[in-house]
Structure 1
Amino acid sequence: QGVPKPFTEVIKANIGDAHAMGQRPITFLRQVTALCLYPELVTDSSIPEDAKERARRLLAACAGHSAGAYSASPGIELVRQDVAQFLQRRDGVTAHPGDIFLSTGASDAIMVWGHLSPVMSPPPLSPPHLPWAGCHLWVVPTMGHHKGTFVLEVAPVPAPWVVPRWGGQVQSRQCIEDVIKFAFEEKLFLMADEVYQDNIYAEGSAFHSFKKVLFEMGPPYSEVVELASFHSVSKGFMGECGFRSGFVEVVNMDPEVKEQLSKLVSVRLCPPEKKNVLSTLAHKAQLTEKIFNQTPGIRCNPVQGAMYSFPRIDLPPRAVATAQAEGQAPDMFFCMKLLEETGICVVPGSGFGQREGTFHFRMTILPPTEKLQVLLEKLSSFYTKFVKEFS
């Protein structure tokens, strides 16, 4: 505090908070939210009629026509019906409102399972999953990198299995099939964190929901494999992190287990311009990959989706030794030096789980394009200087 630094601002590229990084909210969503919270705005002629109609429909489903009233613990029935219709359009597979539970964001729904049973997950692991470390979490190296994608490699100890948000990679259909077969063979409960299903940028990449692939695989998989799929408005193209709103759909869950899940949810009580946004994010994804891969020693896989990159960096032996002497992970040492000298805040890969002997950092692609380009160039220049200093 008070110590002069060679930069004028800290650029926070460490977390996927879209609106904090300057992304504009979707106007329609904010209009509907405003109308639900303050219905008197229905007389405002500047608000379009479709937003007013949506708000009227939602308020009619609330007790006392008020968004402030308690709802059923699994969520407002009308909203669960709408979610079921959305899933049915997406997958071409029947979805039932009774299998859908609304939550305060995807992370909150995921954590319900974390307290019920040991859980295992492949790295890199998303921070919302890290609290499981105190709840019997096994981080296992089950996903290997191959030509910019992830493939299933080994079979670890059986436990409920969570497929997290990747560091910018999109799982192929084949990888999803392999995971489903693995879950079937080992009798695992499969959890799919699918909050970035709209954020797909790379040519040739596509979002495949675990549920759709499961049912297209047919029996016995579609009849036996238990699945929970998570989605949220906090991520994706909406980026409404502060509103904490999401859902989980359960598939093939044992009726008695689902009854217990309903009871657990009830104890918690109830939760208090797409195209342009995605086009801009796609441009930022390509820009990130391009600039990083121009720098010797930095390798960045194609940012195929989501809102993060997870570049791998080569660190000189002297830098590794210095970090270890100071009791730090080598990539943490690099990230702290980066912050101290440039004001750029990224997250070391060691915080997510990574292959032994490799070093990474994770950064978001959310800063405004002009600022992102400066950030990438400044970070690349710092890396070159860092390597030279410790070589």
Structure 2
Amino acid sequence: MSLLKLISFASRRVFTDLAVRPQRAALGFSGFLGLRERNTNLPNYRTMATTNTLSSGVKLSVENMNQNVVKLQYDVRGPVVLRAGDIEQELKKGVQKPFKRVIRANIGDAHAMGQQPITFIRQVLSMVANPELIESSNMPKDAKDRARDILCGMLGYSAGSYTMSCGVELIRKHVAKFIEARDGIKSDYNNVCLITGATTGIKMILEMICGELGGKTSAVMVPIPQYPLYSATLVEYGLGQVGYFLDEDHNWGLSLEELERAYSEGSQCSAIRAIVIINPGNPTGQVLTRKNIEDVIKFAYKHKLLLLADEVYQHNVYAEGCKFFSFKKVMTEMGPPYSTEQELASFMSISKGYMGECGLRGGWMELLNFDPIVQAHLYKALSAILCPTSLGQAAVDCVAKPPKEGDPSYELWLTEKNCVLGSLKERSVMIYETFKNMKGFKCNVVQGAMYAFPRIELPQKAIEAAKAARRPPDVFYAYRLLEETGICVVPGSGFGQRPNTYHFRTTILPQPEMLTEMLNIFQKFHQKFCDEYA
């Protein structure tokens, strides 16, 4: 089949699939569970989904909808978090609680937790959104010039127009230059796609490997603990998950022996197609050594696995002796065959780092050593969702090409950037020092990212009480913490953990004063909880 016919055929498949694919529920199964916990009159959807005969009627129901969506769970916004929202509404209505506010330590949303936006980014965005400000405002000259450049890449000189599916060409070129400066290695902007946050790119890549191979369901290796985007997407797409455990006793390290064990066991019933690495780690906060990265690359090459490098926290490295190395840099410097044959998709976002611009939904992915025809099909699939948000792309440009020394905006930009990262480093130490010194807790150094993942030793009576309440012990603990203190964290079971261990994920994002308050309250709660179930 010719390339033209192949792409034409694939296009028909893509648009047919888009037309018939069921709408995907934003809350997922965890949301349904949360609703059910607040309303006992609702039916048990888990039971219905597995025991009822599927209806052939036209009306969409839980019985006849896509069952992968029913199974999907995303606990970062799951039942505990839904309950936190209810409590906030109750407080507004004057319901008496033993606390005055909910402290949301459950999600990596920096601005929601008080971080101030970077001035240069917001100045450029405001002028891109309203070009009249370029001439009428007293914005810095370099910010005005940047807004003009970005608008010149948009049809009609307007952020309200569609852009190219892979993003504005000028911004993609700036991203390529950023990668070159970071790694000292050439980057071709044709291999760079702008995306609606890293999430979109990750899901598009995973969708490329759906289906069976050699009679086995395709599967992906993911770290345990992992960011629930991966487990949720794998369930949604009908892909298998093969977990490899990070080594908690060695600061959530990654061993080649564990990768081989997981691959060997997973291959018995699945066709493993790809491996996910999150570096710096979410939820664990570790930063991989260069040796770790080399081992992963060799492992992926040996087993012919597509390598997905989630590197959205590359600006967030705090611990002494730790340094971020991109997979692209290490793979290229390893030379052939790795540099010329190993498939790599790496991801970056404006939601994390020093920017914290979660709501703007901007990011990029870079592809290396992809088959050109496969890459063409991926770009075609991206075209079916039209384009990333234009303001998100503009923010990407500000991150990829920040003010340089001598520019009017440089000194303020550098001060704000260093202030954010310096404060995050201080808070990473606060979290670590507090939890490691609490009785019954184990907490590793927060080397990077924005989270800690402490392990808790729960009293046996607490475990029995959780069983009686029909909740996993870590979920039971998280609910008690929320109801008694207003502190919202995510149970470790939402990320995966070794059997018979209990964890939770907390962000380091509350501002210092609030974080100090949170940690003091946390210590008192834990002591009271342990005394109650001693």
Q: Distance in 2 between matches of 1:146 and 1:213?
A: 26
Helix, strand or coil at the partner of 1:230: strand
Question: What is the CA-CA distance between 1:144 and the residue it aligns to?
Answer: 2.2
Cα deviation per residue 1:266-318 (whole Å; 9 max; x = unaligned)? 11111232111100100000111111112111111111111111111111111
Aligned to 2:167: 75
Letter in 2 for 1:205: C
**What letter corresponds to residue 329 of structure 1 in structure 2?**
P
Q: Does 1:49 align with 2:138?
A: no
Post-superposition shift, 1:322? 1.5
SS of 2:194 mapped into structure 1? strand
Partner of 1:198: 315
| Higher deviation after alignment, 184-193 or 39-48 | 39-48
> Does the 8 A contact of 2:163 with 2:387 survive in 1?
yes
Paired residues of 1:123 and 1:139 also in contact (CA < 8 A): no
- Say if 1:141 and 1:355, in contact at 8 Å, map to a contact too: no
- Aligned mate of 1:140, from 233, 236, 243: 243
Q: Does 1:8 align with 2:151?
A: no
1:248 aligns with 2:365: yes
CA distance in 2, matches of 1:79, 1:339: 43
| Alpha-carbon distance in structure 1 between the residues aligned to 2:295 and 2:248 | 15
Amino acid at match of 1:121: V
Report the more deviating stretch, 275-284 or 119-128. Answer: 119-128
1:97 equivalent in alignment to 2:189:
yes
Greater displacement, 377-386 / 273-282? 377-386
- State the partner residue of 1:128: 229
Letter aligned with residue 130 of structure 1: S
2:44 aligned partner? none
Q: Which among 269, 278, 294 is matched to residue 421 of structure 2?
A: 278
1:305 to 2:448 alignment: yes
The residue number in structure 2 matching 1:162 is 276
Deviates more, 1:138-147 or 1:360-369: 138-147
Change (3 A) 1:185 1:142: farther
Cα offset, 1:146, TM superposition: 4.4
Q: 2:242 & 2:490 partners in 1: Cα distance?
A: 18
Contact 2:221-2:242 within 8 A present in 1 as well: yes
- Specify the alignment match of 1:25 in structure 2: 117
**In the alignment, which of 305, 308, 327 is matched to residue 470 of structure 2?**
327
CA deviation after TM superposition for structure 1 residue 149, in Å = 4.0
Are the equivalent residues in 2 in contact too, given 1:331–1:359 (CA < 8 A)? yes
In structure 1, stretches of 5+ residues that fail to align are none
Aligned residue pair count: 391
List gaps (5 residues or longer) in structure 2: 1-89, 210-218, 267-271, 390-415
Equivalence for 2:355: 238
SS at the partner of 1:160? strand
| Displacement of 1:45 | 4.5
- The answer to whether structure 1 residue 316 and structure 2 residue 417 are counterparts is no
User: Shift of the alpha carbon at 1:108?
Assistant: 1.1
Q: 1:145 Cα deviation (Å)?
A: 2.9
Measure the CA separation in 2 of the matches of 1:310 and 1:330. 16
The 1:299–1:44 alpha-carbon spacing in structure 2 relative to 1, beyond 3 Å, is: farther
Q: Deviating runs (4+, > 4 A) in structure 1?
A: none
Q: Measure the CA separation in 1 of the matches of 2:319 and 2:252.
A: 12
Shift in Å, 1:34: 0.4
Instruction: Give the CA deviation at 1:119.
Output: 2.3
Q: What is the distance in 2 between the residues matched to 1:33 and 1:339?
A: 37
Amino acid at match of 1:151: L
**2:168, 2:144 → 1: CA distance?**
19
Task: Determine the C-alpha separation between the residues in 2 that align with 1:259 and 1:325.
Answer: 54
Alignment partners' CA distance in 1, 2:120 and 2:136: 15
The CA distance in 2 between the partners of 1:83 and 1:329, in whole Å, is: 44
The correspondence for 2:484, drawn from 341, 348, 351, is 341
User: What SS class does the counterpart of residue 180 from structure 1 fall into?
Assistant: helix
1:139, CA displacement in angstroms?
4.4
Q: Is contact 2:208-2:378 (8 Å) kept?
A: no
- Residue 125 of structure 1 deviates from its aligned partner by 1.4
Is the partner of 1:288 in helix, strand or coil? Answer: helix
CA distance in 2, matches of 1:145, 1:222: 31
Cα displacement string for residues 123-146 of structure 1 (whole angstroms, at most 9, x for unaligned residues): 111132232223214141343234
State the distance in 1 between where 2:339 and 2:502 align: 39
Distance 2:418 2:231 in 1: 32
Return the letter of the residue paired with 2:236. Answer: G
Q: Deviations over 1:158-180 (max 9, x none)?
A: 32111134321111111111111
Identity of aligned residues (%): 49
Please tell me whether Structure 1 or Structure 2 has the larger radius of gyration of its CA atoms.
2
Other structure's SS at 1:71 match: coil
TM-score by length of 2: 0.71
**SS of corresponding position for 1:296:** coil
Give, as a single letter, the amino acid of the residue that structure 1 aligns with 2:429.
Q
Cα 1:52–1:113 shift into 2, 3 Å: same
1:224 aligns with 2:341: yes
1:94/1:146 CA distance change after superposition, 3 Å: farther
Q: Supply the distance in 2 between the matched residues of 1:201 and 1:323 (Cα, whole angstroms).
A: 36
For residues 102 and 220 of structure 1, what CA distance do their matches in structure 2 show?
A: 28
Q: Whole-Å Cα distance in 2 between the matches of residues 236 and 380 of structure 1?
A: 29
TM-score (norm 1): 0.97
Distance 1:53 1:268 in 2: 30
3-state SS, counterpart of residue 247 of structure 2: strand
CA distance in 2, matches of 1:359, 1:3: 32
Q: Is the Cα contact below 8 Å between 1:189 and 1:225 reproduced in 2?
A: yes
Q: Does 1:264 align with 2:378?
A: no
- Give the root-mean-square deviation of aligned CA atoms: 1.4
